[in-house]
Copies of this chain bind each other. A is one copy, B any other.
Amino acid sequence: MNDLGAMTARIKWNEQGLVPAIAQDWQTGEVLMLAWMNRQALTLTLEEGRAIYWSRSRQALWRKGEESGHVQELKELRIDCDADTVLMKVVQVGGIACHTGRRSCFYRLAEEGRWRATDPVIKQPEDIYGNNT
């Protein structure tokens, strides 16, 4: 077993073979998003130095930025005490992590009994992903 095999063998995958993975801006500390990784995704993330997730909706590897160009370059990767969560510090290429065109996916704040969208759309989704209709 190589080093990555031994490292990923330490992870406590859930019943679907996944763990949550948090992406955090390596400079500002802003939490950008949470997505999921299976063993292959984590291995590729460490090998390639960019965030690669497992898309639960598509049931496929998701190389973050493959469509949008908003790649997440890996600066650092950690696991928690229970070895069931991944934390990455990343360079967010393009400054946009969210498919809505916002910097972070966590743009809705609990405030006065409702969810209020606090962060601006930097780029319209149709300008990120194209419009093929």
Contact = CB atoms under 8 A, between A and B. Distances in A.
Interface of A: 2-4, 6-7, 10, 20, 22, 24, 28-31, 33-34, 46, 76-83, 85, 87, 98-100, 102, 105-110, 112-115
A9 to B, nearest CB: 11
Instruction: Count identical subunits in the complex.
Output: 2
Contacts of A30: 29
7 contacts: A3-B112, A7-B115, A22-B31, A33-B80, A46-B110, A78-B107, A87-B106
Contacts of A82: 105
Contacts of A78: 106-110
Contacts of A102: 81
